[in-house]
A and B are shown apart, each in its own frame.
Chain A
Amino acid sequence: MWIYEKKLQYPVKIANPNPKLAQVIISQLGGPDGEMGAAMRYLHQRYSCPYEKVTGILTDIGSEELSHLEMVAAVIHQLTRNLTAEQIAGTPFATYFVDHTTGVYPIAASGVPFDMKYVGVKGDILADLNEDLAADATIL
């Protein structure tokens, strides 16, 4: 189970709201290579893992990815807080704003909501670890 600590893993302090930036960064939240996918991937692969050390790593990294999800959400929140509809109109963020205003919703920059199809869980540890290599390497 999870314990929540009332802190971010690393500070997020964004002085100036910027909806254009938010529109791009939101893919790190709910896009195909984002933290939501990473957390779901590792946390779900661990159940069928036959090696204790690997199960430990999948659990611990998966949990850490949740804290990354929180940091990216904090970035989006701080980039869009207190913005009026007028400030957002005409920016790429306007289409997101229609459905979510300044709420933080896991979605890709393309407008596709987070999809579990980005995640592979085959129940075979070699397949799953290769999925992990492919997924994490795309961020590098």
Chain B
Amino acid sequence: MDNNVKSCGCNGNSRRRNADAIGCNALKKRFQQIEFALTEAVLYLDAYPECNEALGFYHTLLEEREQLLSAINAQCGPMTHYGNVSREEWSWVNSPWPWNYDAN
């Protein structure tokens, strides 16, 4: 198989297979949900920093976020500038960018 032309259209820098891509969609969707809830928790805690229940909720979410972020950075490409786990390549500029139809 020609390494530079894959059926997904990637330029050969991405080693992700289709099965991994499905995993990535699910991982990213869950990450999106967790962070959505985290944003709410953060805003609430800004106003009520002494609320233990909210802080507990925040930490539960944070734990899952951490696991998801590790998996996403390892399998799907960097979520932030600090997520490029590979020492062989810089994947930050690889598609998809989140505003594209195919990325959602």
Say whether A and B bind each other.
yes
Q: Is B9 an interface residue (CB 8 A)?
A: no
Whole-angstrom distance between the alpha carbons of A90 and B26 in the complex? Answer: 41
Q: Which residues of A contact B79 (CB under 8 A)?
A: 5-7
Given A53-B49, A64-B39, A11-B101 contact (CB < 8 Å): no
Whole-angstrom distance between the alpha carbons of A107 and B80 in the complex? Answer: 29
Q: Contacting B80 at CB < 8 Å: which of A6, A56, A74, A77?
A: A6
Q: Which residues of A contact B31 (CB under 8 A)?
A: 7
Q: Is A61 an interface residue (CB 8 A)?
A: yes
Would you call the interface of chain B mostly helix, strand, loop, or mixed?
helix
Q: Is A70 an interface residue (CB 8 A)?
A: yes
Which chain B residues (17-61) contact chain A, with CB distance < 8 Å?
Answer: 28-29, 31-32, 35-36, 39, 42-43, 46-47, 49
B49–A6 contact, CB under 8 A?
no
Select from chain B the residue with minimum beta-carbon distance to A56: B46
Would you call the interface of chain A mostly helix, strand, loop, or mixed?
loop
Q: Which residues of B contact A13 (CB under 8 A)?
A: 101, 104
Q: Contacting B98 at CB < 8 Å: which of A8, A14, A60, A81?
A: A8
Given A3-B80, A78-B101, A9-B32 contact (CB < 8 Å): yes
Q: Which residues of B contact A9 (CB under 8 A)?
A: 32, 35-36, 39
Cβ-closest 10 pairs across A and B: A74-B99, A56-B46, A13-B104, A11-B104, A8-B98, A57-B46, A7-B98, A78-B101, A77-B99, A5-B79
Besides the known contacts A9-B39, A11-B104, A78-B100, 10 further A-B residue pairs in the complex with CB atoms under 8 A apart: A5-B80, A7-B35, A9-B36, A13-B101, A14-B101, A53-B46, A56-B46, A60-B39, A61-B43, A74-B104
